[in-house]
A = this chain, B = another copy of it.
Amino acid sequence: MSEHRLPSWREGAARDAVLRFLADSAALPVEDRLAVLDVDGTLWCERPRYVQLDFFLDQLDGALRSRPGLRERPELRAVLEHDDAALADLGLPRVAAALVELCEGLSPQDFTARVREFFAVRTQPERGVPYRDLRYAPMLELLDELRAHGFDVALVTGGGAEFVRAVSLDLFGVPPQSVVGSQIGYRFARDDTGRPGLRRTAEVDAGGVNEGEAKVTNTQRVLGRAPALAAGNSPGDTELLQWAGSAGGPSLALLVEHDDAEREAAYTSEAGSFHAAEPIGTTARRCGWTTVSVARDWDRVLVGA
């Protein structure tokens, strides 16, 4: 049977390691069959820009029509003018906060509707395809295999939890309660009839930006257990991958390496959003992770290709 599984994966060490883990996982108690996967650069393409950044740029476009004065805010001006020096000077957290403010006050339902509208009508400008086509076909096959082997599949993103939750079931078959991310806080509010509801704030919750150690603590807080499989692609995924299998039994840590400029993008993972003391490839060798080379191990890359 195995030759018919993971059809987008080429034969080789990475595919062998995945198939071996799937076979070995029969020894895991069902409740320990949890797989967690990073999203940007692990389940879909993050270059030339994070999908979520394109969403917020789209929100900014819309907001400028009614509030042109937003253009004068330094963080937003730097984004609009692609002013890399100003962006570096301001720092990602401050720029991200200014973008997050664009959706402040929305109900969770309205925010979700905006994200889904974006995916429904916008195309990725450089590739000219819908954003859903940026998903990696081999990874979608892996998610299906994991579920077929009794795994709960969860997403652990450095991006916004709600952004990913809005499309997680549609794009990855993952329900919103199985998404862990950078969590924007909510304010409890009643409407005129006294009915309770929630409004987005512009602050990240106490769980913090979901990178590095926070990916471990937030996964435990939201999902309530440790994963047997963890997959990622950047230094911000290091602790999550090291944590995989800490409950004992078969485990797998998968690192996706982006080395295919022709079919996707070639970039060293140091360029991620999180600073690490060493290149992620060095960490992978030291920790015995399974490395997935896009160029070598994937026969097909993007679902839309």
A-to-B contact residues, CB < 8 Å: 31, 108-109, 152, 154, 161-162, 165, 169, 175-179, 183, 186, 188, 194-198, 205-207, 213, 216-217, 220-226, 239, 242-243, 246-247
Contacts and interface: CB of A to CB of B under 8 A. Distances in A.
A152 B177 contact: yes
19 contacts: A31-B175, A108-B225, A109-B226, A109-B247, A154-B177, A162-B224, A177-B223, A177-B224, A179-B224, A186-B217, A188-B213, A188-B216, A188-B239, A196-B213, A196-B242, A196-B246, A198-B216, A206-B206, A222-B222
B243 A217 contact: no
Contacts of A177: 152, 154, 177-178, 222-224
Contacts of A188: 213, 216-217, 239
The list of the 6 closest CB pairs from A to B, nearest first, reads A176-B224, A206-B206, A165-B224, A188-B213, A177-B223, A186-B217
A243 B196 contact: yes
Contact of A196 (B165, B198, B216): B216
Contacts of A213: 188, 196
A186 B247 contact: no
Contacts of A222: 177, 222
A107 to B, nearest CB: 9
A243 B247 CA distance: 37
A293 to B, nearest CB: 26
